[in-house]
Amino acid sequence: MSVLIVGSIALDTVKTPVEEHADQLGGSASYAALGASFFSPVKLVGVVGDDFPESEFEFWKSRNIDAEGVQRAQGKTFRWSGEYAWDMNTRETKSVALNVFETFRPDVPASYRKSEFVLLANIAPALQAHVLDQMEKPRFVVADTMDLWIETTRADLDALLPRVDLLILNDSEAREMTKETSLIKAGRKIRAAGPKYVAIKKGEHGALLFGENEFFSCGAYPLEDIHDPTGAGDTFAGGMAGYLAAQGGDPTFADFRRAMIYGSVLASFNVEAFSLERMRTLQQHEIEERYRVFRSMSQFEVVT
């Protein structure tokens, strides 16, 4: 099955203590779409300006990403600039220019509206709800969110949660949303607010998954070199959604566990280069090999 992905498409400028790269492909939908495309065809909805490179449309086409839903508007593409500290966890936003994204209201093409799997990447909850209003009974809905929406549009986010099958957010956002210091309590509290499943990302410490009476903890793949953490969480979400769609039918909890590992594997590749450069050259056999290593690292035998 294909995955409908709706979110931001941007041109980013990223600086680390050792490198700086400007005008690179970015945005939540860009990372998520490429992550999902390793498992399922993707239908992409977003907006770009007249300065957006045509070569990116050709790249999407080569990766089985249908960009019919990407609107071209007069003006400049959404631009973001950020700088990372030495620990690669601390990031400072230097500038944000919404440009054509400021008035973006997703218009889902008629040919997309029967999509059974939907990933609402990180955009305002009201826009995520607007997308769902246009869909014809999707089988499974994944939504990503962030601290900005928790702090400024909480009512819209709360209204969205019962319409979501899987909510993805990071550890600080889960604590902010629930006012709980324990991530276990936070995950259960969020799931009780509507989503059937909740995935909490913990960066280099892995991720947690909560179901009705089920729980799974996934570590993170150990990396020696991290060049650019931008988009790792979006890649994780896209990988999960793409894998679940590829299984067809209603996902089992075993499917979710495997999807989380695949999402973590893709995120680990994503941070090995700036923007989506590592993901552009990534091959399926590399993903499967790292998945195999990841799984073997997660298993142990008690010797008595």
The CATH code for residues 3-298 is 3.40.1190.20
Predicted local confidence at residue 299, as pLDDT: 58
pLDDT in tens, 225-242: 888 889 999 999 999 999
Determine what percent of the chain is predicted with pLDDT higher than 70: 98
Ordered by start, the domain boundaries in the chain are 3-298
pLDDT score of 300 more than 70: no
pLDDT average, residue stretch 11-19: 92
pLDDT score of 144 more than 70: yes
CA-based nearest residue to 203, from 230, 240, 238: 230
pLDDT average, residue stretch 44-70: 97
